[in-house]
Amino acid sequence: MAGPIRIAVIGLGKIAHDQHLPAIAANPAFQLAATASTHGEGVGGLPRFATLDEMLASGVAVDAVALCTPPQVRYQLAAQAIAAGKHVFLEKPPGATLGEVAILDAQRQAAGVTLFASWHSRYAAGVGPARDWLAEREIRSASIVWREDVRVWHPGQAWIWEPGGLGVFDPGINALSIATYILPHPFFVERSVLSIPANRAAPIAADLSFRDVAGAAIRMDLDWRQTGPQSWDISVDTDRGTLRLEKGGTVLTLPGEAPRIAEDREYPELYARFAALIDAGTSDVDIAPMRLVADAFLCGDRRIVEAFSEP
């Protein structure tokens, strides 16, 4: 399209301030045009609205919206934006249910706009090279260990413990977005054990077993009760040695090589991808990571554990 893409950010929480706003400001393909949020202040004197309704009714010129709200309210906002002819960037996960994402995909096709279900961890520096290396290898097994302290990374986020908030799968789906991208064969849930605090609706930990269509076993260990060193690591055993992705995909170690370490450019790469999709008139709505999470809940053995509270 001619000129920069005029974009509005909907939901001004931590992720918007930490990642979306800086990435938009650094990309000349975009121009921040407005914000909408039920709390907080506006940005740089730009139009600020309490709701998407108010923004659309105001007539402010906007070509696209980035939805940074909790997933439980994202469908209605996305459907409203699509109906108004706006391109839509969905923060991960793309929705609270698979059904609503499928409906949004159909709606965007009818409206002729771009819909981008973003998976930021796929844009970590080591992920693309890992995918290329694994494409020519026989996968024997894989291990995913995603252990972090919820009090450090998600303080005061009550929505994350509610139905649709995913609990420990909020970070865990990042690992699955990487695994579904780098592993050469599709895989499915064989076993799921969900540890749910007595006073919460979503799990604080999960132990999962997957198997790919070629027979390789994949184990996943998710835990929000980790203190001390945090772990965001994937290892893949192959016929040519073991590949390791650490620190969420930013550090890649191939057999016989020194670790490759690169700076974080996940959100700048996401916005470059969004601009390219809009320019090409196409969309990217991959639900593979979300489908695995849904299956983990569907067949999960739910075990009640100690209640969780914050200071």
Q: Which residues are catalytic?
A: 92
Q: For residues 132 and 246, give the distance between their C-alpha atoms in angstroms, rounded to a whole number.
A: 17
- Strand pairing report for 251-253 and 241-246: antiparallel
Single-letter residue type at 195? S
Closest CA to 221 of 188, 194, 259: 194
Q: For residues 86 and 65, give the distance between their C-alpha atoms in angstroms, rounded to a whole number.
A: 7
SS3 274: helix
What tokens appear for 66 in the block?
A: 């980035």
Closest CA to 4 of 19, 22, 37, 26: 26
Count Cα neighbours of 60 within 13 Å in the Cβ-side half-sphere. 21
